[in-house]
Amino acid sequence: MFNTQKILNDFPILTRPGANGLPLCYLDSGATSQRPNQVVAAAARFYTEINANVHRGVYRISEEATEAYESAREKIRAFLNAGSTREIIFTSGTTEAINLVARSWGAKNLNSGDRVVVTEFEHHSNLVPWQMLAAEKEIVLDVIPVLDDGTLDLDVYRELLKLGPKLIAVSGMSNVLGTIPPLESMIPAAHEAGALVLVDGAQLVPHLKTDVRVLDADFLVFSGHKMLAPTGIGVLYGKETLLKEMPPFFGGGDMIRKVFLRSFTVADLPYKFEAGTKPIAQAVGLGAAIDYLNLLGMDQVAAHEHELTLRAIESLQAVPGLTIYGPLGGNRGSAVSFTIEGIHPHDIASLLDREGICVRAGHHCAMPIHDRFRIPATTRASFYLYNTEADIERLCSGLKKVVSIFA
């Protein structure tokens, strides 16, 4: 059984009583998650016990630091079921990872007239890098539209595949609508059409067991801070055959084999893409976060969240004037965005904050999907493993109070 009380003990920020005597009701894990004591301690332990720079150091703590860093890489490899640690590149986050693919793979493989397909619900981080590339290299950006129920228009997707795109860049879970696109059919279809697939896993990997070999994703990117780990660390998974052919991205220490005054040769994977001193302590923290998730079991985490999400959707619909954007049921993620007739999302969030309830208001770094639904902004509640039914009750009664204030 999923023991939320036991879990909450690991998150002191969620149990300390706030100004109104109630603990924080944190419903903004879609923006960033909280971190359990175990993760904070792992990073602190790194600093106070084995802190040193990694690789190249021959003294003991440097070797221990290297081992801690590389064993975090191995934990990630196993978590994703990747074939080799050479496929696991540490980045500063999802955004850097996508830009890396756009600039390195894209620079080499995309030419004027080539097509890249995105979706209408992409996060700006999986949209703007492709727009920048489109402007520089005159590639064509195609968009899979979103239907009224928040799912992708797969008929259009099939048509777009016929145009022979080089890459499909798609979020594994929308951070606004909670939509989980059918990657298990979209990826094979892309491959059949000769396209590679980059999965933006920023919302997917923290919440649902993700097996890169089952998915057969060519690239998968995600951030540590949305999955219990420190800020400042993220991952690019790429198939080894692809990464091998890609030119390096950042130049600097550690990504080289040899450097002369006017030329250099490149290091082997994964170091080729890891220039400079990486976020070492944060990588170790991400390893600890994965240990934590594995201990709970990703299937349990997903089941718990799914139950909460369906319960939330049901309760929210009882709030007068409230409209939810995105799927109302089925296999969907825990981001639930909504509007309330006549009340601005910022006012909703401010008023909920008085009750110690943290929700996000705005465009959630996904303006186009808001344009699609002709709304400037939404209020979003998003859940993670430490949330409980009590949180949902507080959210809904808070919203009813908001409605009455504006009545």
Ligand X SMILES: Cc1ncc(COP(=O)(O)O)c(C=O)c1O
What residues act catalytically? 365
Q: Smallest Cα–Cα separation from 229: which of 4, 13, 33, 24?
A: 33
* Positions in 167-196 near ligand X (CB under 6 A): 171, 175
How far is it, in rounded angstroms, from Cα 306 to Cα 308? 5
Which of 41, 276, 376, 390 is the binder for other proteins (CB under 8 A)? 376
- What is the DSSP code (8-state) at residue 139? P
Q: Is 126 in the site for ligand X (CB under 6 A)?
A: yes
Report how many residues bind its own copies under the rule CB under 8 A. Answer: 91
Q: How far is the CB of 193 from ligand X (least distance, A)?
A: 24
* Positions in 281-310 near its own copies (CB under 8 A): 281-282
CB atoms within 10 A of CB 60: 10
Count Cβ atoms within 10 A of the Cβ of residue 268 and give its class: 0-12 exposed, 13-18 middle, 19 or more buried. exposed
* H helical segments located in 153-269: 154-162, 183-192, 212-215, 240-245
Stretch that binds other proteins, among 89-97, 136-144, 285-293, 362-370 (CB under 8 A): 362-370
Q: Is 73 in the site for its own copies (CB under 8 A)?
A: no
Q: Are 76 and 289 in contact (CB under 8 A)?
A: no
Q: Nearer to its own copies by C-beta: 131 or 300?
A: 131
Q: Smallest Cα–Cα separation from 197: which of 174, 169, 163, 222?
A: 169
Which of 77, 225, 370, 394 is the binder for other proteins (CB under 8 A)? 370
Q: Is 352 in the site for its own copies (CB under 8 A)?
A: yes
Ramachandran region, residue 194 (left: φ > 0; alpha: ψ -120 to 50; beta: rest): left
What's the first-to-final CA gap in the chain, in angstroms?
42
- Binding site partner of 376, from other proteins, its own copies, ligand X, none, Cβ cut-off 5-8 A by kind: other proteins
Task: Tell me which residues touch ligand X (CB under 6 A).
Answer: 93-95, 123, 125-126, 171, 175, 200, 202-203, 223, 225, 253, 276-277, 365
Task: Tell me which residues touch other proteins (CB under 8 A).
Answer: 55-58, 60, 62-63, 66-67, 70, 85, 256-258, 265, 267-268, 344-347, 350-351, 353-354, 361-363, 367, 370, 376-377, 405-406
